[in-house]
Structure 1
Amino acid sequence: MKVKEVAELVGISVRTLHHYDSIGLLSPEKTTDAGYRIYSEQDLETLQQILFFKELGFPLKKIKEIIESPSFDREEALALHRQMLMDKREQLDQMISTIDKTIKHMKGETQMSNQERFKGFDFSHNPYEQEARELWGDKAVNDSNTKIEKMSKSEQKALGEKFDEIYKELAAIRHLAPDSEAAQKGIKVWFDYLNEIGHYSLDAFKGLGQMYVDDERFTKNIDQYGEGLAVFMRDAMAVFADQNK
């Protein structure tokens, strides 16, 4: 199958397939004399595997490492995908139920306890934690986790609200040059606040900014506040780290 045919079959863009090829994640086995990519049955199986991992939040870099590992077993991976999706479905079912109960509660049709309001939410697992440990070591992550775990529910809520506030303020100035006075003042607020809940060196801070762009999950979440915010923060954080060493 040619690249356009595969894109239409799967429902992804030709550009995405070209990107997978350029980073060595999925390079078709054959090309025609005219230079057209030809995808084999094996290529389609690999693409399916990639998309399963991507749906479950794995970054492309990590997916490449997994499927290129000599110990990778496709059947075992599919079994893992299935279990993870089952767990995800169970959580989503709980959250849908919580929404239904909340609507009935708002209409006065039923009473809802505070515990029921938050059934289905799960913040115990941080999908970025392993990457953070690999980049910056265990100490910074452990210190942050320990501090957050000791917070009360209201303190954790305030933490989230502060994060939200800082992101919104940075989004408002993302059109400025990363090395401008306003950008550096704003990014210092982010650096100082991160160090209130952990211990981030300037190098760790710069590495975190790079992850905002390298990891699609970070980019997607951050850019909800404004398109291009992740790139702006990366650049501003790099300038801040370099200027303050």
Structure 2
Amino acid sequence: MKAKTIGQVAKSSGVSERTLRYYEELGILMPERTAAGYRVYREADERRLAQIMAMRRCGLPLTTIGHLVKDPAADIHAPLVAHLRTLRAQGKSVEAATKRTLAALESLERIQGMKPQDAFEQLKREGLEGFEREYGQEARERYGDAAIEQANQRMMALTKDEWDAKELLEESIKVQLRLAMATGDPASAESNELARMHERWIAIHWGSGYEKEAYLGLVRGYLADPRFTAYYDDACSEGATEFLVKAVEAYQG
């Protein structure tokens, strides 16, 4: 198989060049170098990247992933299975996280024999399928089949740069939510910025043609289902989802 440049790997995988360089700094994905100093990625490198992506999906830290991919004798399934046992032991409150870990473990097993490009496409499809399994019924009942199908199509049509921007915004919202919560004021400047960021995130998924009341209804719906509430509460702290809702309400007036 012909070696690929960092740009080609970024395009085929949906992982930004910046992230690929960061993985190299950590020593978990080490491409070869040409005589001129350019990075070249072999098929084995792309397989490793697919494994890294699958393990990141279930929340394994990069330090653990680094140990697994650097050690040829390491069992990459073991920490996922151990993580699954821990989640099960914690009870029903982490049922959603348990399902995500199971899906990631199954996904990792499925992509082992795939070509890199097929593996990346599979991971993308499974991300949407995971949402359908976890939230699909409630989302379709609340917003309608047409809205969900349009959102799924919009996600599948995103370019690499758009996908990277979406992922970065999603993580940035969690950081901003912590900053806003520290003020204790849903109407603070930090909270207003949080609300603006969340509005941009919703527009990526749903488009920009929604009514204000529809948007507020969607956000308030986060508190109607414990699984939706748990998304931000688990990422930030208890009460984070409620604070986000109040911040959006205050910003929207």
Higher-Rg structure is 1
User: When you count helix as a share of all residues, which structure comes out higher?
Assistant: 2
The structure, 1 or 2, with the larger RCO (C-alpha pairs under 8 Å, 6+ apart) is 2
